[in-house]
Chains A and B, each alone.
Chain A
Amino acid sequence: MDEIRLRELLDRAVASEPPMGPIAANSLRAGMKLRRRRRTQGTVACLAAAAAALIGTAAVAGTGTAGNPAAGPAKVTGPSTVYVLSGEGNLYAIPNATKVRGKKILLPGGRQFMAITPNGKTIYVSGDEPNAVIPVSTVTDKVGKPIEFGAHYVPTQILITPNGRTAYVTDIQGGEIYPIATATNTVEKPIRTGPAGGGYYQMAITPDGKTLYAVSSSTPVKGPSDVIPIATATNKPGKPIKIQSMAVYGLIMNPDGATVYAIGGSGAENEIVPISTATNTAGQPSNVGQAGGAMAIAPDGQTLYLVDYGARPEQTGVLPFSTVTNTPGKPIKVTGMVYAIAITPNGNTAYAVSEPRQKPAVNCTGQTGEVTPISTATNLPGRPIRVACDPYAVAVSLDGRTIWVGSRNWVTPISAATHTAGEPIKFRGSLVAMAVAVTP
């Protein structure tokens, strides 16, 4: 009813539509000119990439997968730093040891996603205006030259290989995946694994870094979808794995590397499909109702925790899914809309962040958000911890002692031992991404 009424108002807003000009014919003429211009630019870009490859330096070494949620839980240990990114391009570093916010690093344009190399030395941030991935040195706070793919391509998700040598970037427009050599910050040959408009949206990588999996959704978004395995040694796509029953929205790798799980929907409800990485074949789908979107997998790989949007507002929570039996467990009730979930490195506790307030305020003030600890042994929720309003992201420090919760304008550290919130740290802009990495 709510949506119908708003739709009616929007319909009335467009009711005064004036006659339209010859858009189709004009577009055809202008499009032909643009094509010719792009062809010329493409030749120049290829020559520049070839020259950069000739003067490239040694590759960055590193282990683990910090900052790459799709690659499974972090394996790096040691002092860590949490990085906070706002949509306005403000990037902040907060060392776990001091919990004091560093100075703002201002990035150009609108930024949306980030990923951090396993050695914690470089952050890659994607966004638009410029449509580019921007490397940032966490050692010097220096913002590098934007890595561009073309004026009309918008880089989105970034996944860095466990050895830190390549950052794979999806582009929601062109249907290609761009590998960036992190040693030289140059774009290697794009991987064409489907048609333009295919909508690459998520990636996952095996723990040994040998195979990257990417989603190519068809339109309408109800599916079917292709999950495409890509050998990282050659960057050549393999035979697409057909997921007939649904459009895949997310991928998550089991830490054992034997299975990658595709989560998606076919309309009203969502499903999980296990894909064997040994044979690249899809198993039987399992219905998970309204669960999907944000998710986390336990370090032992036996349980997936999915945010459950619920059929009704009072049914929101977290749905545990056994990867052993491929069946959903009993839903875990969490008050309010759950936005993110994370699991401690020892696998004992999952933390779900939610906003219980039914009507979000225009001005975000006060401690209205909540973090609910969930015992993974019993799948029972503990007492919620209050945090700043509109919590949107959660990450765990590498030592597992601090839970970092990102709200709209605040970051709150929470002690994993006492489940008490520390002093919230304010930042400028609205949070779009948060990640933990080893302190360089």
Chain B
Amino acid sequence: MIPAEEFIEFATVTSPRLRRTAFLLCGDWHTAEDLAQTTLVKVFASWRRINRKEAADTYATRTLVNTYLADRRRKRVGEVLTATLPERAIQPQTPEIRVVVLDALATLPSRARAVVVLRYWSDLSVDQVAAVLGCSAGNVKSQSSRALDKLRILLGDAAAEIGPVGQQDEMNETMGASDG
């Protein structure tokens, strides 16, 4: 298979996962698509050097997270922080949970948010997240522990208000467990 065909196959398979991961990182589908596409552009530019194609997935994840972190740092300068969140369009599927989860994620620092998404959505181990972020396992555990603590406070209260009967107990039970 020639490299371009090989890459197209890789990109077709990987792009949905990259876009969803990017969405959890940035909270906006348009930006997520931009992040996923920028990531794949960078991956293609290095495609011939990625000899072990099974490594391409991790390479793409690293590129995505680094692109997101760099993007956040650039935007931080021009962003104006406000006390109230902007209004959001109503979504057809489970809008409350979606909005509440995204708002909670938005309160986390960029690297902590990346840790949460990679560990608890992408199912990477502590060491895998450390490898992606280029930091120590202790750093990942520390960041995920602090992030979970914050999410437990934010999502615990919100779930009590919007979740169905019985969901509050489950939320408290599950979010209350310490991070190992």
A64: interface (CB < 8 Å): no
**Which one, A6, A9, A25, contacts B8 given CB within 8 A?**
A25
Question: What chain B residues lie within 8 Å of A15 (beta carbons)?
Answer: 93-94, 98
**Which one, A17, A34, A174, A219, contacts B49 given CB within 8 A?**
A174
A109: interface (CB < 8 Å): yes
Give Cα A5–Cα B136 distance, bound, in whole angstroms: 26
Are B131 and A201 neighbours in the complex by a CB distance under 8 Å?
yes
Q: Which of B121-147 contact A (CB under 8 A)?
A: 121, 123-125, 127-128, 130-132, 134-139, 141-142, 145-146
Min Cβ gap B124→A in Å is 8
Q: How large is the interface on B (under 10, 10 to 19, 20 to 34, 35 or more residues)?
A: 35 or more
Given contacts A28-B7, A221-B131, contact A128 B93 (CB under 8 A): no
The number of inter-chain residue pairs (CB within 8 angstroms) is 240
Per DSSP, are chain A's interface residues mostly helix, strand or loop, or mixed? Answer: mixed
Give Cα A128–Cα B73 distance, bound, in whole angstroms: 9
Question: What chain B residues lie within 8 Å of A249 (beta carbons)?
Answer: 127, 130-131, 137
Min Cβ gap A276→B in Å is 25
**Which one, A23, A198, A294, contacts B15 given CB within 8 A?**
A23
Q: Of B49, B69, B131, B148, which is in contact with the most chain A CB atoms at under 10 Å from its CB?
A: B131
Are A173 and B62 neighbours in the complex by a CB distance under 8 Å?
yes
Give Cα A23–Cα B62 distance, bound, in whole angstroms: 18
Are B47 and A31 neighbours in the complex by a CB distance under 8 Å?
yes
A189-227 toward B: CB 8 Å interface, digit per residue (1/0)? Answer: 000000111110100000000000000011111000000
Are A13 and B51 neighbours in the complex by a CB distance under 8 Å?
no
Q: How large is the interface on A (under 10, 10 to 19, 20 to 34, 35 or more residues)?
A: 35 or more
Q: Which of B62-92 contact A (CB under 8 A)?
A: 62-63, 66, 69-70, 73-74, 91-92
Question: What chain A residues lie within 8 Å of B120 (beta carbons)?
Answer: 3, 6-7, 10
The 4 closest A-B pairs by CB, nearest first: A31-B44, A197-B59, A5-B174, A27-B40
> A-side interface residues toward B, CB under 8 Å?
1-7, 9-18, 20-21, 23-28, 30-32, 34-35, 38, 87, 109-110, 112, 128-129, 152, 154, 156-157, 172-175, 195-199, 201, 217-221, 247, 249, 264-265, 292-294, 307, 309, 312-313, 337, 339-340, 358-362, 390, 392, 432
23 contacts between A and B (CB under 8 A): A2-B179, A6-B116, A7-B120, A11-B121, A12-B97, A16-B91, A16-B95, A23-B36, A26-B37, A27-B15, A30-B41, A110-B69, A152-B46, A197-B50, A199-B58, A217-B131, A218-B52, A218-B54, A219-B54, A219-B58, A220-B54, A220-B58, A247-B127
